[in-house]
Amino acid sequence: MKPGARIAAAIEALNEVEELWLQETRAPVDAFLNQYFRRRRFIGSKDRGAVSRMIYSVLRNEALLNWHLKQNEVSLSARTKILVAAVLLDELGLEELKAAFCGQQYCPPTLSESEIRFIKNVAGRTAISEAMPLSVRHHFPGWMESQLVQIFNGELAQAMDAMKQEASVDLRVNTIKTNRQEALKVLTQEGLAPRPTSHSKLGIRLGKRGALFGMKAFRDGWFEMQDEGSQLVAQLVQAKPGEKGIDFCAGAGGKTLALAAQMENRGRILAWDVSGKRLGQMKPRLGRAGVSNVQVRVIKSERDNVVKRHRDSADWVLLDVPCSGTGTWRRNPDLRRRTTQADLVELKQRQKAILESAARLVKAGGRLVYATCSILPEENEAQVTEFTGRHPDFALESPALRLYPHVDGTDGFFGSVLRKK
């Protein structure tokens, strides 16, 4: 595709996803893009990557891009956002943009006189202005400002800058099939510049992106894509062969697979979730990984009758609860826009309800592991403190795990291990 055609596709895709959000459809942008490209098979892999990068560039910097558009009295649209990102972030000049916005087949319509004036006005300027409010400069919801300032104190700028960077591609080696050394060899041969992760002993970070899903090693179940932080949360469980464990909010099964490998495929894992669609994504992954000790079940809610049937029986229960996802802003920049204060209130109530119900599953001496991909204390430390206050039969086993992109190079995660006395 020509540069203009790529820009036109990015404008079209961004416009479609914004229309969905106006309808209050909370579709994650990565899921939307997968569907968008599936409907347009003619767009090649390199072009898909270029289009995706343009859209994510806008979403990661949307607040400051919108600020510049408003300052210049330019209407907010998918076209103008892509245009201002090209000028301020990619530093494209007027002539390059005229060539791309040429009005030819598959390219965007030609630039208007007002757009040309706008380009001339902002060209050469820095994207960040001291006149911007703090929340615009660092691109976070204004209502979160006091919380984020308190969390990061003098490191707010570094923390938020790290949240705007493209996330790394991390893999977890499946020890049921291979080991990290052998996986590193295969990935090196594929030219992906792999290296061991800094914290997870099973992790590999890629220096280059490639067609992972087409690799024989992937089809043979040697590895799964999983952020290093997520791997460390799974390692908190310390699942052992022969145990009975319950992954209460299993989703698509990333941590379930890691736990099955910890248990050397021996024992029993019950993988539950309220979303049958997400659990459905786990089944082919289990087969590819050679996992045979997982039983998948859709539950109606955290109060499902199945919880009563397994009361006081689990060696461990993992609760990777629904949360604001603030720790995943690198991967899901749209969450900055889509998460509201009302959402947070609702999420905290749901987290509390899940904790209360799932705690019944843990047997005496067993472990309850509470985790989120949030950086907000009210979803993390506060929930654990309130829970132990209500349940003196549970005690913190070790200091909590707290991960931040600017410190640890992972997504933001929280994990706490509670032992039932």
pLDDT tens digits for 159-215?
A: 999 999 999 999 999 999 999 999 999 999 999 999 999 999 999 999 998 889 999
pLDDT of residue 173: 98
- Cβ burial of 154 (10 Å; 0-12, 13-18, 19+) is exposed
- What the block records as the tokens of 280 is 């459905």
Cα angle for residues 346, 158, 210 (degrees, 5° grid):
85
Options 107, 249, 323, 373, the catalytic residue: 373
405, 330 Cβ separation under 8 angstroms = yes
325, 411 Cβ separation under 8 angstroms = no
Single-letter code of the amino acid located at 33 = L
Q: In 3-state terms, what secondary structure has residue 398?
A: coil
65, 45 Cβ separation under 8 angstroms = no
pLDDT in tens, 248-306: 999 999 999 999 999 999 999 999 999 999 999 999 999 999 999 999 999 999 999 99
d(CA 89, CA 96): 14
Highest mean pLDDT among 24-28, 42-46, 396-400: 396-400
374, 326 Cβ separation under 8 angstroms = yes
pLDDT of residue 18: 87
- Helix (H) and strand (E) counts in the chain: 20, 12
Per the annotation, the verdict on 102 as an active-site residue is no
C-alpha distances (whole Å) from 313 to each of 87, 144, 292, 306, 418 are 60, 40, 20, 12, 16
Q: Would you place residue 25 in the very low, low, confident or very high pLDDT band (cuts 50, 70, 90)?
A: low
